[in-house]
Structure 1
Amino acid sequence: MTEATSLTPVKPPESELLVVTGMSGAGRSTAANALEDHGWYVVENLPPQLLTTLTELVARTPESIPKLAVVMDVRGKELFSEMKASLDGLRAAGVNYRVLFLDAADAVLVRRFEQGRRPHPLQGDGRILDGIAAERELLAVLKHASDVVIDTTEFNVHALATSVTELFSDSGPIVLRINVMSFGFKYGLPVDANFVADVRFIPNPHWVPLLRPRTGLDAEVRDYVLGAQGAADFIDRYVHALVPALDGYRRENKHYATLAVGCTGGKHRSVAVTEEIAQRLAQLPGVQVTAHHRDLGRE
């Protein structure tokens, strides 16, 4: 059994099946979300009897779901008691799998249930602690046989997501995906923007007859916009100011950010500046950058 404190990445064989289980309130949903963000196909609350059937279906076309994670809990106590038999059946059939077990101290689990204002699935008419004790007894054998155990007692959701990322992501630390979007203020602010830059201080190519029919994707417009007084200095300082913010996104396990760059109509200035900012950001480590022009082509 591997304790998660070492955070040594576990590299499985070609076909990957991960069973995620553990104590209620220990962070299964957070772990599932982190796995999903790194390309795992996640199935939650699967009855143990269906584990073999699901594995067989995926095995027929492994290229369609190369990484399958199955999350199981004890809400169906009678069904869960058959989980060990189901796992033994997979092993006998030659299916390679790993078990990730999430745990936490009783006091922390109680606090999490109380904060969520919900009962423990096994407490019945008793206390939360009664449900936790029953669950520990039910899961004892499975925990002992697990490949990876993560104790989330001292974790918040971000720390748990980071641990899961380091253990089960092929790419290691999280990659931040940035969408740099140009837009026209006259069509409204993008509702999903995390950052908004206004480049209407740059002279408008719309008033240059030769440039008016062109866009910020054309070299003549790009040179006009980026060569304007203050434009290059703005871009340099803006990208520099974004670096600590993007580093903070990674620390908080935020995977996506949208940076909106606006001018009047979203055709000239914002398009040219968006392309330049996207190229600059793409040079930073640990990011994937795309450029999108929301209002290009609108009248």
Structure 2
Amino acid sequence: MTTDDGRPADGGAGPQRDVPPSLDPTSTETQPLEVVVVTGLSGAGKNSAGRVLEDLGWFVVDNLPPALLQPMVELGARGDLRRFAAVVDVRSRAFSSDLQEAIRVLSEAGHRPRVVYVHARDEVLVRRYESNRREHPLQGNGTLTDGIGEERALLTGIAGEADLWVDTSDLNVHQLRATLENAFAREGRTPPLTATVMSFGFKYGLPLDADLVVDARFLPNPHWIPELRPRTGQDPDVRDYVLGQPDADEFLDRYTDVLRLLIPGYRREGKRYLTLAVGCTGGKHRSVAIAEEFARRLSVEGLTAAARHRDLGRE
């Protein structure tokens, strides 16, 4: 097209074509990203968690300093990235405040940052470091436990604001993968609330990453029935025995009503992950059967729910 005097209508610049922002180096247009920050204790499995996310299709950057988180996200948002994950490690005493500020700025910019806090018990971390013959990054001239303690103190602020806690003390790599897949393998669509129902044994300690804890020890213990003792709550005979107790149905019904009350509130507050822990003495019979049933009921309520059995197989 030309003007009346024969000049090109574009002012002489020739034909104009739309250039996608991802290919235009001068473009400042950005699109909101899903952002996951994986942080936590050294030796707890942050890098393993990052590899799982990478396998799930996330663009993952390892050992990213907090100060570079915002520039990296903005760079990715100008391109074709939609899901970005960063593994952030302890590198300075300003770590926690720097990371919290970066997350705040990203949220205000319209991105959707989530924090996954990976941790483990001290004795587990010590065992892992000793088996690898490595020093803790904050150990300095002190002991290994000194370094772990200092790191826990540095992480207090960000740990309290984390969206998802993952305790790897009793997880193998396959269980860690299943935990993260349950939370993130949604082809870019994050469900409003994802639930993990975890069975455990009280004699092995309370799960540190539980939001709610239920005690199933009021039910008769299949351990004292010889034909049921070697089996688990996943066995139909044990499940039928546990769920067939006179109080079991009423307990499940009433606690499901409690969950129906809590779930809308969790959603309003933006909570994305719920961990319901169900305990019995050893985590083999009652808690396993009840956890499986709660996972089924939560699925009926419209949640993405999965059962995980922390202590199953332990003697």
Normalising to structure 2: TM-score of the pair? 0.48
Which residue of the partner structure matches residue 132 of structure 1?
Answer: 148
Aligned match of 2:51 in 24, 27, 33?
33
**1:174-185 counterparts in 2 under 5 A?**
none
Asked if 1:99 corresponds to 2:112, the answer is no
Higher relative contact order (CA 8 A, sep 6+): 1
Q: Deviations over 1:121-169 (max 9, x none)?
A: 0010111110111011100110110000011111112211221112111
Tell me the amino acid that sits aligned with residue 35 of structure 2: L
Aligned match of 2:69 in 28, 41, 51?
51
1:85 CA displacement: 1.6
Q: Distance in 2 between matches of 1:99 and 1:116?
A: 27
Q: Distance in 1 between matches of 2:164 and 2:73?
A: 21
Tell me the amino acid that sits aligned with residue 113 of structure 1: Y
- SS of match in other structure, 2:61: strand
Which residue of the partner structure matches residue 125 of structure 2?
Answer: 109
Q: Distance in 2 between matches of 1:124 and 1:147?
A: 31
Tell me the amino acid that sits aligned with residue 89 of structure 1: V
Q: Distance in 1 between matches of 2:133 and 2:67?
A: 31
Which residue of the partner structure matches residue 60 of structure 1?
Answer: 78
- SS of match in other structure, 1:97: strand
Tell me the amino acid that sits aligned with residue 153 of structure 2: E
Q: Distance in 2 between matches of 1:57 and 1:26?
A: 29
Which residue of the partner structure matches residue 106 of structure 2?
Answer: 90
Paired positions, count:
158
Q: Distance in 1 between matches of 2:150 and 2:96?
A: 13
Asked if 1:150 corresponds to 2:171, the answer is no
Q: Deviations over 1:171-226 (max 9, x none)?
A: 69xxxxxxxxxxxxxxxxxxxxxxxxxxxxxxxxxxxxxxxxxxxxxxxxxxxxxx
1:78 CA displacement: 4.1
Tell me the amino acid that sits aligned with residue 18 of structure 1: V
1:91 CA displacement: 2.1
Q: Distance in 2 between matches of 1:76 and 1:161?
A: 29
1:14 CA displacement: 7.1
Which residue of the partner structure matches residue 120 of structure 1?
Answer: 136
Q: Is the 8 A contact 1:26 1:103 kept in 2?
A: yes
**1:1-299 counterparts in 2 under 5 A?**
15-61=33-79, 64-79=80-95, 81-170=97-186
* C-alpha spacing 1:120/1:78, structure 2 compared with 1 (3 Å): same
Percent identity over the alignment is 44
* C-alpha spacing 1:171/1:90, structure 2 compared with 1 (3 Å): closer
Tell me the amino acid that sits aligned with residue 53 of structure 1: P
Q: Is the 8 A contact 1:81 1:138 kept in 2?
A: no
Out of 84-93 and 15-24, give the one that drifted further.
Answer: 84-93
Q: Distance in 2 between matches of 1:58 and 1:138?
A: 29
Q: Distance in 1 between matches of 2:34 and 2:99?
A: 18
Q: Distance in 1 between matches of 2:97 and 2:147?
A: 16
Q: Distance in 1 between matches of 2:161 and 2:92?
A: 21
Tell me the amino acid that sits aligned with residue 82 of structure 1: D
Name the Cα RMSD after superposition: 2.0
Q: Is the 8 A contact 2:32 2:77 kept in 1?
A: no
Q: Is the 8 A contact 2:32 2:112 kept in 1?
A: no
Normalising to structure 1: TM-score of the pair? 0.50
Q: Is the 8 A contact 1:123 1:131 kept in 2?
A: yes
Q: Distance in 2 between matches of 1:84 and 1:76?
A: 14
Question: What are the ranges of 5 or more consecutive residues in structure 2 without an aligned counterpart?
Answer: 1-30, 189-315
Q: Distance in 2 between matches of 1:96 and 1:117?
A: 38
Q: Is the 8 A contact 2:65 2:91 kept in 1?
A: no
* C-alpha spacing 1:38/1:86, structure 2 compared with 1 (3 Å): same
